[in-house]
Structure 1
Amino acid sequence: MSDNIFEMKTKNPVEFKKYVKLGITILALILLLVILLGSLFIVKQGEYKVVRQFGEVVRIEKDPGLYMKAPFIQSVTVMPNKKMVYDMDQQEINTLDKKRIIIDNYAVWYITDPTQLINNAKTVANAEARMGEFIFSIIRAELGSMEYEQIINDEATSRTSLNERVTDTVNELLELNNYGAQVSDVRIKRTDLPDDNEKSVYQRMISERDSKAQEYLSKGDAEKNRIIAQTDRQVTEMISTAEAEAAEIRSEGEQEAAQIYNESFEKDADFYRLYRTLQSYEKTIDGKTTIVIPHDSPYAKILLGYFE
């Protein structure tokens, strides 16, 4: 034969059957693997796995781990098994004194019964929407019974008590409607005024604060004047008492001095006269004084050194 011509050989039927069996086995293994993988699912921390069959909930797995389901006829959906924050849209309400305010609040909530939530709310989004309606309705009723000044004043509103009342009432409504959810906390983040009346309210608040400041200043001035008057009266009383005591002491000193003079005069009359004469000199004579006296006068005698 020529080198370009190959000899065609017929394959052995036994070998052909062996290849067919191998292919079927591989396909069976692949199908079995697909079925096995379709039957397994994993539950992670912080989530529910809801197993449904023909749209109905057959069971719920919440503990982390590996689980199985019937392939093809059962499906698995995920729902959160942890606390979630639902941030609601801003809403406008009217206060008792007819002020329009905008409230912005949020709620912390979690799923307690996934089956009830699916049967009655269908989805988590629907459950949040219904919960938001409950919260807004309750807050509108609560704040609608208050005046604006009470709402913005934390002490006057007892904001903590308000949050607790709203939370309790929302949970009652959720339980009544079998939504399988519970709210752990409802908070009002802020309360704002609409732009059209915000300026007028601020001006009124400023005016009230100015009036209050003037009241405090008036009370302060009155108290200052009272303290000054009381102090002046006390000072006057103290000065009067001191002057009276000083006059009494001077009087006692003058009496004592007069007594000493009298005693001295009785002991030596001549010395006393000399002493008194010298005192008179001290008061009447200085460097510019000119005195004309008789030579036999007491002054002349003393000045000239004549003593009796």
Structure 2
Amino acid sequence: MDKKVVNLDSKKTIELEWKKYAKLGMFFIILIVLFALFLTSAFIVKEGEYKVVRQFQEVVSIKSEPGLAFKIPFIQTVSTLPKYQMAYDVSQAEINTKDKKRMIIDNYAVWKIDDPGKMITNARTVVNAESRMEEFIYSVVRAELGQLEYDEIINDEKSSRGSFNDRVTMKVNELLSKDEYGIIVTDVRTKRTDLPQENENSVYTRMVSERESKAQEYLSIGDAEKNRITAETDRKVRETLSKAQANAEVIRSEGEGEAAKMYNNSFSKDREFYSLFRTLETYKKTIGEDTVIVIPSDSPYARLLMGYTE
């Protein structure tokens, strides 16, 4: 009898312990499930990104402010898109100019996502958006440069490209807006323009010829200007010398006249002194170191030479 009571009590104790642990286990399971649901429903929006919430491929909300956000677990999905501007290196492409010449164009574009909902719906991914953008850029650049002659594109002096980059940017944005891709191109730029290998030598030779022709033109203009300046300078020099010589002749004649007048006034006061002066002037011109003079001893000339004054 006592054995049966002990067995019954043991069974009841085991059942109570089992129920206790079962309830505790159920509590932990529920807690884990709730934590898992929290993890699968919560997501963080970071600075510089969009979070697009979709349900069965339909966009239900767009989160753009940084912080914690929630979605319905297992039903809704979240896609991340960049909010900042991005640079895309467009693949090199060969185009034909208006005069049927080939050239290779290398461009790059700066773009950003303007409408995340449209971008996810129509382009799906950033890679697809860039692919569509590249197609539009190539199409517009080919059409724009196809209206220009080859020389107008490569020669800055003859270039009629004008606001080429602005026109390309505007037209690419029109195409993207028409197809509602939700992105906008802020700038399209040409990094470089190259020639196919087979055309480089001929174009280089022609460019050298053009530069040599231009250099010769500058040299001709310089020579003509030099000759004009030289001729003008020579004319002014001749005029200045002519005027100086004329003035000198006038001054000389005036001086000679004044000297003659002074001589006449001086010599008229003492005729004997004038005679002596003229004689001495004659000696200066006729007598040198090797001069031999034969004259009568009683001539006035000889008397003066010998020192006789009477």
Q: Normalized against structure 2, the TM-score is what?
A: 0.91
2:137 to 135, 155, 173: 135
Matched AA of 2:99 = D
Matches of 1:97 and 1:116, distance apart in 2: 41
SS in 2 for 1:12: helix
Deviation at 1:99, TM superposition (A): 2.1
Question: Could you tell me how far 1:152 is from its partner in structure 2?
Answer: 2.6
What per-residue deviation string (whole Å, max 9, x for no partner) do you get for residues 209-239 of structure 1?
Answer: 0011111111211221222222222222222
Q: Look up the match of 1:296.
A: 298
- % same residue: 62
Match of 2:74 among 58, 72, 82: 72
- Residue 193 (structure 1) shift: 0.9
Instruction: State the shift of 1:66 in Å.
Output: 0.3
Give 1:296 shift.
Answer: 2.1
CA deviation after TM superposition for structure 1 residue 278, in Å: 0.9
1:150 alignment partner in structure 2: 152
Unaligned runs of 5+ in 2: 1-9
In 1: Cα distance, 2:112 partner to 2:162 partner:
21
Structure 1: 5+ residue stretches without partners: 1-8
What's the counterpart of residue 287 of structure 2?
A: 285
The alpha-carbon deviation at position 55 of structure 1 amounts to: 2.1
Instruction: State the secondary structure of the residue aligned to 1:50.
Output: strand
Contact 2:101 2:150 (8 Å CA) reproduced: yes
Distance in 2 (alpha carbons) for counterparts of 1:138 and 1:201: 26
Does the 8 Å contact 2:95/2:142 carry over to 1?
A: yes
Aligned to 2:263: 261
The structural deviation recorded for 1:187 is 0.8
* Equivalence for 2:29: 27
The answer to which of 115-124 and 22-31 deviates more is: 115-124
Give the secondary-structure state (helix, strand or coil) at the position aligned to 1:151. helix
Moved more, 40-49 or 124-133: 124-133
Q: CA deviation at 1:45?
A: 1.1
Residues 152 and 160, structure 2, Cα contact 8 Å, conserved in 1 = no
Q: What corresponds to 2:5 in structure 1? A: none
> Following the alignment from structure 1 to structure 2, what is the Cα–Cα distance between the partners of residues 92 and 51?
41
TM-score w.r.t. length of structure 1:
0.91
The one-letter amino acid of 1:167's match is T
Compute the displacement of 1:158 (Å): 6.5
Q: 2 CA distance for matches of 1:189 and 1:135?
A: 14
Counterpart check, 1:241 vs 2:239 = no
Measure how far apart 1:155 and its partner are. Answer: 6.3
- The secondary structure found in structure 1 opposite 2:268 is helix
- 1:207 corresponds to which residue? 209
Letter in 1 for 2:90: M
Partner letter of residue 127 of structure 1?
A: A
Distance in 2 separating the partners of 1:154 and 1:212: 14
Matches for 1:28-107 after TM superposition, within 5 Å: 28-107=30-109
2:151 and 2:194 mapped to 1: Cα distance?
A: 12
SS in 1 for 2:65: coil
Q: RMSD of the alignment, in Å?
A: 1.8
Contact map agreement 2:118 2:182 (CA 8 A) in 1:
yes
Q: Name the SS for the 1:267 alignment partner.
A: coil
Where do residues 157-236 of structure 1 align in structure 2 (5 Å cutoff)? 157=159, 161-236=163-238
Shift in alpha-carbon separation, 1:106–1:48, aligned structure 2, 3 A: same
Partner of 1:14: 16
- Displacement of 1:104 in angstroms is 0.7
- 1:88 corresponds to which letter in structure 2? V
Q: Which amino acid aligns with 1:289?
A: T
